[in-house]
Chain A
Amino acid sequence: MAKRQSDGPAKTDIDMTPMIDVTFQLITFFIFTLNFSNAVQDDRVQLPLSQLAKPAEAPADDPITLQLWPDKDGVTKVIYNGEAIRVPDMSGFLEQEKRVLIDAGKEPADAKLIVRGDGRVKTGEVQELIKICQEKGFENFVLRAQYDERK
């Protein structure tokens, strides 16, 4: 059998231009979709859907986000600064928030409490949390829901 003779070039130049084009397109996409917002969103919380829940035009002043979520035993916990706390134990943490506001020359009534409640938690426990907040002087509440894009 005749030996195959290599007659190709010694060095093959691969055209890198399409790959670099695609790569820069990807980088541009990721830069534009980069999210700098410091929105507190815990993935465990399944917010109820609402067609009326359109995003706020401006961020709230002095927001305090309280996220309610049922743990695996069905006990409602408040996710606050990354910790899962039972609703009746929130009083001390809210007292701290109140003191921080007063030290900053503000009133608890100036703050906005954002309640991110999971759709599965008991309404009574959401109300219990709101009641504890009211006892500390907070009175502006925001019930947060996920925008339902279905028509």
Chain B
Amino acid sequence: MADREPLPDKIAIDMTPMIDCVFQLITFFMLTLKTVIPEGDFDIRMPLGASAGAPQEDPPVIVRVKMTAGPDGELAGITMNGSGVGDFEALRQKIIGIVGVNTGPGGAENTEVELDCDYRLKYINVVKAITAVSGMPQPDGTIVELVKKIKFTPPKKPS
């Protein structure tokens, strides 16, 4: 039987194909990378003609928040139940004054906010108003919930 040839001290592996594949993979992942910005939702239940239904046993306390717009669509003023409010933080404080921070019966549970907005008001102000009336963020990251029921008045198109 012939003697086996002795193995070399160091076997050189050709790394080129593996590095090619790896770089192809990196290129693919880099090109398909899409950063997703965290988004959140405000649930609003708005059936058509809900106000025309049967009278409820315990009708909610309705807080009317009116937002007027300037000629450029920027916020010009906020009123709550007819009285002026300085800004959205002041609106939140007024809501807390009505519902307190208890979410049970007699508090936020039985309160509804009706948003009456100028047609040309920029939508960013609506989200700010909903944020102000629906909760209060705490320094530890938790949120004290305020009013959950929010509705809109019908849109009034300027003539």
Whole-angstrom distance from the CB of B83 to the nearest CB of chain A?
22
A90-146 residues with Cβ-Cβ distance < 8 A to B are: 109, 114, 116-128, 130-131, 134-135, 137, 139-146
Interface residues on B, range: 35 or more
A123 & B48 in contact (Cβ 8 Å cutoff): no
Known: A130-B152, A134-B46, A145-B42. A124 touches B120 (CB 8 A): yes
Rounded to whole angstroms, the CA-CA distance of A131 and B151 in the bound complex is: 12
A140 & B45 in contact (Cβ 8 Å cutoff): yes
B29 & A131 in contact (Cβ 8 Å cutoff): no
Partner of A118, one of B30, B32, B123, B135: B123
Known: A30-B29, A37-B36, A142-B41. A121 touches B123 (CB 8 A): yes
Stretch in contact with the other chain, from B57-65, B105-113, B125-133? B125-133
Whether A4 sits at the interface, judged by CB under 8 Å, is: no
Among residues of A, the one whose C-beta sits closest to the C-beta of B23 is A23
- Interface size for A (C-beta < 8 A) is 56
Known: A16-B19, A20-B19, A27-B22. A52 touches B121 (CB 8 A): no
- DSSP class of A's interface residues: helix, strand, loop or mixed? mixed
Whether B137 sits at the interface, judged by CB under 8 Å, is: yes
A56 & B40 in contact (Cβ 8 Å cutoff): yes
Rounded to whole angstroms, the CA-CA distance of A97 and B157 in the bound complex is: 27
A64-85 residues with Cβ-Cβ distance < 8 A to B are: 68
B36 & A51 in contact (Cβ 8 Å cutoff): no
22 CB-based A-B contacts, threshold 8 Å? A24-B22, A26-B26, A30-B29, A34-B33, A47-B39, A48-B126, A119-B123, A121-B122, A121-B123, A122-B121, A123-B117, A123-B125, A123-B126, A124-B157, A127-B117, A127-B155, A130-B46, A141-B44, A143-B41, A143-B42, A145-B39, A147-B37
Please give the residue numbers on chain A whose beta carbons come within 8 Å of chain B beta carbons, in ascending order.
Answer: 16, 19-20, 23-24, 26-27, 30-31, 33-35, 37, 39, 41, 47-56, 68, 109, 114, 116-128, 130-131, 134-135, 137, 139-147, 151
